[in-house]
Chains A and B, each alone.
Chain A
């Protein structure tokens, strides 16, 4: 794992940032990249550029938010609201990841385009929550990294737990069609036939 070297040699490049955004790093790796991000202004600039590119791809409205002072305002409101760091939705991405690991990238785009809920990805939900923080609030960020290691154990449990749901889901779908949407939907859902 390229990202594992980060902790030892401290080198973080754009690819690592990109992996972090795509949710491809495990919590340990994500923490290392975030750590570097907190210390390195150049990395922060690249991070910002990457986010801009991603946002522009998804929505012109969101891209328009990349104006001077916007990030500062977001940082400030995030700093005023520490509860944002709580990894409440671990179970959801864990289940998703188990079902369809290959779709992570497509899914992240779809989440913005069609579902008006920000999607938190499985490996580093904390990283997602704190992505605007590092430059202005390193103290808050490192607290979050701590929280992330605690979250790691929880995440592992959540993944095991999410897998445990699969047989229930299959049995439920079998007797109900699974969804009020056309029956086809039931068969397009993840986990079908994986038993």
Chain B
């Protein structure tokens, strides 16, 4: 009874986080007229910071929505159309880019599976990325609120208007300088994330994603989740990786403070095997790549390369090229790269 289980879980979180009225509003098909009443009722039972994070996580998977997303980072801006539907057991998502090269991303998530197809018309190619569900950590939608609150101080802000909706502002300040700060705006009715910003230590917005318009909770036709492109004869490219044990190969990659080691894999890169270790703190993530005997030229200098919220740093350790990349401040990727050691295979 997958469906029943999900439904119970959904209702439970609704009940704890925003009361019966919220549950009724979501369940009812004619929820719009009730919205004002529901908000009135919610004011009496304010949600805590942790409950808001939980609400955002649930809504991202369980709520139907369609709208336009503006994304900005590193001085770039792009807009896309997103359609998301929850059919009771699967979450289906379609993203169409509206700027630059045409692309479509089709995503399917269930309890056991998470797959994204990227459609690239000019090269008639479909790139398929598959994750197991535990892999999808640490998106906001799967990180536990407690884990986030251990590393970030959360503070509720004012209620503001975003994409025509009332949104609760929530600030997440890092408790150390290894990570960036975030500001979130969550739909008061459903908890859906309407806008998110990443801020550096100078309080500058370095990445931002926001709905410019959105419709929440409406019925979505399945045809809206299919690409109109005929993909007959397109080639399918699958990314592949397998589990690995770096310590066995003599590599010491210490876990940075306040992060959790979520993955150690081997994958094909630059037509050779490379090791990848992933760290996450519930919001920010870091990957460490180790390419033994890499023929790639040394980095031209020891500067950290930055793009929007992403920092990258490379250095040579023993005969390998070590590259650290993550959505963290430049100092963090540098420190992580410098902590990597080779002690020879055991």
Contacts and interface: CB of A to CB of B under 8 A. Distances in A.
B312 interface: yes
Interface stretch (B11-19, B97-105, B218-226, B249-257): B97-105
Interface string B187-222: 000000100101000001111110000000000000
Contacts of A119: 75
Nearest to A190: B76
A164 B295 CA distance: 12
Interface stretch (B20-28, B35-43, B161-169, B302-310): B302-310
Interface residues on A, range: 35 or more
Interface residues of B, number: 76
B319 interface: no
B203 to A, nearest CB: 8
Given A106-B99, A180-B283, A188-B209, A162 B305 contact: yes
Given A100-B100, A107-B76, A184-B209, A164 B139 contact: no
Interface stretch (B44-52, B323-331, B336-344): B323-331
A106 B77 contact: yes
Contact of B71 (A88, A95, A176, A185): A185
B32 interface: no
The secondary-structure label for the interface of chain B is strand
B60 interface: yes
B285 A180 contact: yes
A179 B206 contact: no
B69 interface: yes
Contacts of A188: 69, 71, 78, 80, 95, 97, 209
Interface in A139-195: 154, 157-158, 161-162, 164-165, 167-169, 171-172, 174-185, 187-190, 192-193, 195
Interface of B: 60, 69, 71-78, 80, 82, 93, 95, 97, 99-100, 103, 105, 107, 116, 118, 120, 125, 127, 129, 131, 135-136, 138-141, 182, 193, 196, 198, 204-209, 237, 239, 241, 262-263, 265, 267, 269-270, 276, 278, 280, 282-285, 287, 289, 296, 299-300, 303, 305-310, 312, 323, 325-327
Given A107-B75, A107-B77, A176-B262, 16 more contacts: A115-B75, A162-B305, A164-B296, A165-B305, A165-B312, A167-B269, A168-B312, A169-B312, A171-B276, A175-B241, A177-B136, A178-B327, A180-B140, A182-B60, A183-B141, A185-B209
A117 interface: yes
A161 B99 contact: no
A63 B190 CA distance: 41
Q: Which DSSP category, helix, strand, loop or mixed, fits chain A's interface?
A: helix
B287 A175 contact: yes
A18 interface: no
Contacts of A110: 72, 75-77
Nearest to B305: A91
CB-based closest 7 A-B pairs: A180-B283, A111-B75, A176-B285, A193-B118, A110-B77, A172-B287, A119-B75
Contact of B327 (A95, A100, A179): A179
Given A167-B269, A179-B207, A102 B100 contact: yes
B211 to A, nearest CB: 10
B307 A172 contact: no
Q: Indicate the member of A88, A103, A164, A185 with the most B CB atoms within 10 Å.
A: A185
A171 B182 CA distance: 24
Nearest to A188: B71
A17 B344 CA distance: 57
A187 B120 CA distance: 13
A67 interface: no
Contact of B205 (A96, A114, A162, A183): A114
B99 A103 contact: yes
